[in-house]
Amino acid sequence: MIDVRKLRMLAELDRLGTISAVAEELHLTAPGVSMQLAALEREVGVPLTRRVGRRVALTPAGALLAAHGHDILARLSLAELDLDSLRSGSAGRYALSAFPSAARTFVVDACRRILEDPGSSLELTLSTLEPEDALDALAAGTVDLAVVHGYSNVPRETGRGVVTRPLGAEPVRLAVRRTDPAAAGGRPARLSEFADAAWITPTADLTCFTMVERACGLAGFRPRVVAETVDFGVQLELVAAGVGVALIPSLAVDHLPDEVELLDLETPVGRSLMLATRESGTADAGIRVLSTTLRETAAARLAAPRSREVLA
Give the C-alpha separation, 170 to 269, whole Å.
9
What pLDDT sits at residue 183? 87
The angle subtended at Cα 190 by Cα 189 and Cα 196, nearest 5°, is 110
* Minimum mean pLDDT range among 76-90, 103-117, 127-141: 76-90
pLDDT at 85 > cutoff 50: no
What would the pLDDT profile of 155-174 be if each residue is shown by its tens digit? 998 878 899 999 999 999 99
Average of pLDDT values for 260-268?
96
- Write down the pLDDT at residue 77: 65
How far is Cα 138 from Cα 46, in angstroms, rounded to an integer?
A: 54
Q: Work out the average pLDDT over 34-40.
A: 86
d(CA 97, CA 114): 16
Integer Cα distance of 116 and 111 in angstroms: 9
Those residues whose C-beta lies under 8 Å from the C-beta of residue 256, and which sit 6 or more positions away, are 236, 262, 308, 311, 312
Tell me the Cα Rg of the chain. 32
Stretch 135-141: mean pLDDT: 90
Cα–chain center distance at 44 = 48
Instruction: Give the pTM.
Output: 0.70
Q: What is the mean pLDDT of residues 248-264?
A: 94
pLDDT greater at residue 283 or residue 237: 237
Closest CA to 2 of 49, 68, 57, 58: 68
The pLDDT, as a whole number, for residue 309 is 38
Please return the burial class of 258, using the count of CB atoms within 10 Å of its CB with bins 0-12, 13-18 and 19+. Answer: exposed
- Shortest CA distance to 251 belongs to which of 87, 136, 109? 109
- Within a 10 A sphere around the Cβ of 89, how many other Cβ atoms? 19
In terms of average pLDDT, the best of 93-97, 117-121, 189-193, 285-289 is 189-193
Q: What is the mean pLDDT of the chain?
A: 87
In sequence order, the 6+-apart residues with CB closer than 8 A to the CB of 132 are: 206, 207
pLDDT on residue 81: 52
User: Using one digit for the tens of pLDDT, what is the confidence trace for 270-308?
Assistant: 999 999 998 877 778 888 889 999 999 999 999 876 544
Percentage of the chain exceeding pLDDT 70: 93
Q: How far apart are CA 160 and CA 171, in angstroms?
A: 28
The pLDDT of 219-230, averaged and rounded, is 97
- Above 50 in pLDDT, residue 131? yes
Going by pLDDT thresholds of 50, 70 and 90, the confidence category of residue 84 is: low
DSSP 3-state of 222: coil
